[in-house]
Amino acid sequence: MLSFTADRKLFCSAVARAAAGLPQRPLNPVHAGMLVASSSTERVRMTASDGYVTFTASCEAVATYPESMILPGRMLTEISRYFTGDRVEMRHERKTVTLTSGKSSFSLSCSNGEDYPSWLKSPHPLGKLNAGEFADAVKSVVTASKRDHPVQRGMRLAIEDDRLLMTCTDSSRMAFACPRMEIVAADLIPDPVLAPAVILERFARVAEDEVSLGWSSGKVNLIGVSTPGLEVSAPYVQGKLPDSWVMIRDDYQPQAVADSAELTQMVKMAALAAGDKGAVQLDFSDVLTVSAAGDAGYSGEMETEGALTPVTLEFTPQYLLDGLTGENVTLAFTGRALLMIGDGYRYILQPRRKLTGKE
């Protein structure tokens, strides 16, 4: 029977990481469970999956017998938050598992780990990235994905030179980032793919130190990402982004350089005055003027660096805020759309209306 002891913080962190793979409404009842396994006497592994996306987390442990079992996933996640001792001890007897930490003890039903469906192994990594830079890139790009669209829920990934090119679009806006990547398999670089943006977003929140990333081509269309103590695999999103995505990489004449924090504060105040269905107007003239178009009035001015082309545009407030990251933002125009350029990212946003200015 499997028994082990582990550091409480490490164990609870591993359970929380794996729990990101638990489906809200599992099609197969077994996927409501979390697979807990030990293939050695020094490490314990937790796996959660919906049959397609798989999260596997691990931590150091002292195990007495290599074995696996299925525990109620949500219940294990919830009770792990109440452990109080320095260490967690698990004892398995027949169809029951007892988890003890400090003065608290919980009993959970369990089933044979061999009943848990197998999953496809993650592809070999193509390159490695700094976890912080990867998380920042995902955060800045994923805002432009469309969660309920069969194709636009995907994030386009491509490798070019020593960069990972990341692109999302929902047709009204587009985001692009290109963090530096250390290539470890230069002779195996496959074609660009669409990765499920929401899965990369979940992974990026808990990634630490370093991220390894790769995807396969052929019969098994999988993308795999890993960080110390966590591996995630998921199938591609079928389809491809419109070819117009390349426009975000083109060079455009900068109009102004603005302080992101100051502009963000002004947009938030304008959004508050505009109300739920209102809009925020940007008036490019001698100065950049931010104003509200909605329930109440607001107007604020800020100095920028550069020569502004006179034009007044109206935007959805949150869409505008999503493009304001980093210390400074460079503003330019791609025809009718506004291009926002920061440190390592680009964001194109179509205005709701163009109020003044030449077409």
Residue 359: its pLDDT value, please? Answer: 45
The Cα–Cα gap between 345 and 259 comes to: 16
Task: Tell me: do 226 and 256 sit in the same domain.
Answer: no
Task: Tell me: do 18 and 34 sit in the same domain.
Answer: yes
Residue 30: pLDDT band with limits 50, 70, 90: very high
Average pLDDT value for the chain: 90
Lowest mean pLDDT across 146-150, 164-168, 181-185, 293-297 = 293-297
Task: Tell me: do 150 and 243 sit in the same domain.
Answer: yes
Rounded to a whole number of angstroms, the distance between the first and last alpha carbons of the chain is 74
Average pLDDT (147-158) is 93
Task: Tell me: do 269 and 347 sit in the same domain.
Answer: yes
- Domain finish residue from 194, 229, 247: 247
Using an 8 Å Cβ cutoff, are 141 and 177 in contact?
Answer: yes
Residue 357: its pLDDT value, please? Answer: 60
Please state the length of the chain: 359
Residue 303: its pLDDT value, please? Answer: 86
Residue 155: its pLDDT value, please? Answer: 96
Task: Tell me: do 81 and 181 sit in the same domain.
Answer: no
Residue 299: its pLDDT value, please? Answer: 93
Range of the domain at 13: 3-115
The answer to whether residue 120 sits within a structural domain is: no
Average pLDDT (56-75) is 90
Write out pLDDT tens, residues 84-123. 889 999 988 888 999 999 888 999 999 999 999 988 888 8
Task: Tell me: do 172 and 277 sit in the same domain.
Answer: no
Task: Tell me: do 225 and 271 sit in the same domain.
Answer: no
Task: Tell me: do 131 and 243 sit in the same domain.
Answer: yes
Pair of tokens at residue 190: 């496959």
Write out pLDDT tens, residues 211-266. 999 998 767 789 999 999 999 999 999 888 877 778 888 888 888 899 999 999 99
Task: Tell me: do 271 and 282 sit in the same domain.
Answer: yes
Residues ≥6 apart with Cβ < 8 Å to 165: 156, 157, 158, 159, 176, 178, 192
Task: Tell me: do 258 and 242 sit in the same domain.
Answer: no
* Number of independent structural domains in the chain: 3
The answer to whether residue 217 sits within a structural domain is: yes
Residue 174: its pLDDT value, please? Answer: 94
Burial of 76 (0-12, 13-18, 19+ CB in 10 A): buried
The answer to whether residue 121 sits within a structural domain is: no
Q: Please give the torsion angle defined by the CA atoms of residues 199, 248, 134 and 203, in that order, rounded to the nearest 10 degrees.
A: -10
Task: Tell me: do 132 and 236 sit in the same domain.
Answer: yes
CATH of residue 265 = 3.10.150.10
